[in-house]
Structure 1
Amino acid sequence: MTSNTDPAKPPLLFVMNAASGHNDATATRAAIEEILAREQRTYRIHVIEDPRHIGETARKAVEEAKARGEVVVAVGGDGTINAVANAVLGSGCTLGVLPQGTFNYFGRAHHISEDIEEALHALLNAQPQPVQAGLLNGRIFLVNASVGLYPQLLEDREAFKQQYGRSRLVALWSGLRTLLHHHRQLRITLEEGGQARNLRTPTLVIGNNPLQMEQVGIPLAEDIKGGQLAAIAVKPVGVLGMLWLVIRGAVGKLGDAENVINFSFTRLVVKPSSLYRSRRVKAAIDGETIWIDAPLKFRVSPVPLLLLKPVLQPAAQGETEENAQ
């Protein structure tokens, strides 16, 4: 750790998930230490050794950072960033991120490089900007939250990663196997703006990431940028129909499919059918599965995250957006 007293260069607390992403944690830590020592920045590194306690560890780290006037920097994939952001939201601390996961939708949407050295240099010159956060029963989500098929896809993908390693090819292979074996349909009621409608669907996804919407072809990216969330549901289809929708999503044409429902909102209540014995629902938040009490209340957080975002020139910003797509 180095030290400085420049108020324009606040101290940094790195919260790093040793088990996250495809990069070696030792190499990542070495890169952080080398660059910050060279730049004479005050910093600390907190390594999360046990991912099972990531939420509790993140909360304690943010409490320390608030007392010390530190910027909290999450180092890991979307799940790690979510855990740290959940602790940062409303704390008064500023958040920085060094994306190290498989898909890194949050970092890519905000033009933060996946290259550790490039991301670090950008972080040291970044400016804090407010960023929208979604909430599911009070829990933050930055990329998406979902129920039904999507959480099962994530659980199966994690099992495949443990066996075959972390890569986008492994994630795709796992997803195809899940689609072939998952046949359950959700029966839910959607309540928005005083109106209710019943829906039968294999999955409901609530998105808060414009880049992800653009990539699968859902025309709600601008709505998210304008302060709303995006809802995507699939009408009941067979296995072949679901596989066809996956292919359409892969080529950015999901929004044109007649079996896909999508709309934007700021508040949405989702109630499971009374046929369900349990009032607890399996959900996924930014790539991590959880059990949560129904009804499910989705909304835009009234308090934004304060995120350190790279300072981009207009020409460079256009190039970055093109590369992200």
Structure 2
Amino acid sequence: MSEPVPVLVNRSGGTAAARGEALKEEIEKAFADAGVKIDLQLLSGHGMADAVAKVAGRNLVVIGGGDGTLGSAAGALAKSGSTLGILPLGTRNHLVRELGIPLRLPDAARLIASGTQRRIDIARVNGHVFVNNASIGFYPDLVQQREGMALPKKLAALPAAAAALRRMRHRRLRLEMPGREEHIVTPMLFVGNNRYVLEAGRLGQRAALDDGVLSVYAVASRRRMALIGFALRALIGRADPARDFAAIGDTPELRVTGPKRCIDVALDGEVKSLAVPLAFTLDSRALSVIAPLEERD
């Protein structure tokens, strides 16, 4: 690594914001101890896209932030052929955990210095990339309520869920997949980049990150009290797969239509209003990422 490695950090959210002024020194020390020269930029969330575009095409680009930040950067890096290095600076760090990337900055920097790479799938809806999942309905409403509160994400979760429940409604959606079509009524549709595990204790985890499929689920119940129970279980990470979700199936592509011209979609926790129809696709093994090698059974 002769030239400095660009390290772009979203300082606006997650653990990056919590570290405050100490963050810059922590990152610089972690990479110095790992023997890596870096070009560090601490950016606002709004400034990340332009910064990523400027360095896309470099052999290695390190992104610090949460799942939404990683998802936003993944498309440009995959297209340019850059390898993604990750600093775990989000609130939940779902992708980081599934890749087996260490949560401590010094350990993550040492992993990046090792150069160990693997390839993973990225998914898109109407051209917008997501690395984990996309959802329609209750969860985007919850995120919008939470973002409107002057509280940290964890503290805002419960009042945001209560507000989202008060305005929760069922969506009538038509799902078109190769060889089949379904009409559903649900408070939330969930589309995963690869297959999510629906078993107790592992909900929210994926069996693989490179199987080349989208997994589609809908919240099963339509009764209000049952939905309140689902929302509370989801908030504390204890959703019950058998009770809460109906698996619609795996598909290489998906088209979603509904009665409205636009639908709010949460992409890795970031909400965008997208024009209908929603066209979901998957790019198999499109992104190179620094991570421990996957252990296959």
Q: Which TM-score applies when normalising by structure 2?
A: 0.87
* Superposed structure 1 runs of 4+ greater than 4 Å apart: 209-220, 247-253
Distance 1:194 1:222 in 2: 25
Give the Å deviation of 1:236.
5.3
Aligned residue for 1:73? 62
Note the 1:145-294 alignment, pairs <5 A.
145-160=134-149, 163-167=150-154, 170-208=155-193, 221-222=206-207, 226-235=211-220, 237-247=222-232, 249=234, 250=236, 252=238, 254-257=240-243, 260-273=246-259, 276=260, 279-294=261-276
Q: Name the aligned partner's letter for residue 112 of structure 2.
A: L
Distance 2:5 2:20 in 1: 18
- Structure 2 gap segments, 5+ residues each: none
Note the 1:25-104 alignment, pairs <5 A.
25-49=20-44, 51-62=45-56, 66=57, 69-104=58-93
Aligned residue for 1:18? 11
Specify whether residues 102 and 124 from structure 1 end up closer, same or farther in structure 2 by C-alpha distance, changes over 3 A only.
same
Specify whether residues 223 and 262 from structure 1 end up closer, same or farther in structure 2 by C-alpha distance, changes over 3 A only.
farther
Give the Å deviation of 1:148.
1.5
Q: Name the aligned partner's letter for residue 163 of structure 2.
A: T
Contact 2:136 2:264 in 1 (8 A): yes
Specify whether residues 215 and 107 from structure 1 end up closer, same or farther in structure 2 by C-alpha distance, changes over 3 A only.
farther
**Pick from 88, 100, 106: which aligns with 2:95?**
106
Specify whether residues 214 and 102 from structure 1 end up closer, same or farther in structure 2 by C-alpha distance, changes over 3 A only.
farther
Aligned residue for 1:321? none
Aligned residue for 1:128? 117
Q: Name the aligned partner's letter for residue 58 of structure 1.
A: V
Q: Name the aligned partner's letter for residue 121 of structure 1.
A: R
Distance 1:227 1:79 in 2: 21
- Structure 1 gap segments, 5+ residues each: 319-325
Q: Percent identity?
A: 25
Distance 1:38 1:54 in 2: 26
Paired residue secondary structure (1:114): coil
Q: Name the aligned partner's letter for residue 85 of structure 1.
A: A
Distance 1:110 1:55 in 2: 23
Give the Å deviation of 1:214.
5.9
Give the Å deviation of 1:32.
2.0
Give the Å deviation of 1:309.
0.5
User: Which deviates more from structure 2 when the two are superposed, residues 190-199 or residues 204-213?
Assistant: 204-213
Greater share of strand residues, 1 or 2?
Answer: 2
Specify whether residues 212 and 205 from structure 1 end up closer, same or farther in structure 2 by C-alpha distance, changes over 3 A only.
same
Q: Which TM-score applies when normalising by structure 1?
A: 0.80
Query: Could you report, residue by residue, the CA deviation over 1:1-56 in whole angstroms, capped at 9, with x for unpaired residues?
Result: xxx64xxxx7421111111212325322212212333444232112223x234323
Distance 2:37 2:142 in 1: 41
User: Which deviates more from structure 2 when the two are superposed, residues 134-143 or residues 213-222?
Assistant: 213-222
Give the Å deviation of 1:280.
1.8
**Aligned Cα root-mean-square deviation (Å):** 2.9
User: Which deviates more from structure 2 when the two are superposed, residues 239-248 or residues 117-126?
Assistant: 239-248
Give the Å deviation of 1:207.
1.5
Distance 1:238 1:16 in 2: 43
Give the Å deviation of 1:255.
2.2
Contact 2:111 2:290 in 1 (8 A): no
Paired residue secondary structure (1:103): coil
Q: Name the aligned partner's letter for residue 71 of structure 2.
A: N
Query: Could you report, residue by residue, the CA deviation over 1:52-71 in whole angstroms, capped at 9, with x for unpaired residues?
Result: 34323322232xxx2xx441
User: Which deviates more from structure 2 when the two are superposed, residues 24-33 or residues 251-260?
Assistant: 251-260
Contact 2:175 2:183 in 1 (8 A): yes
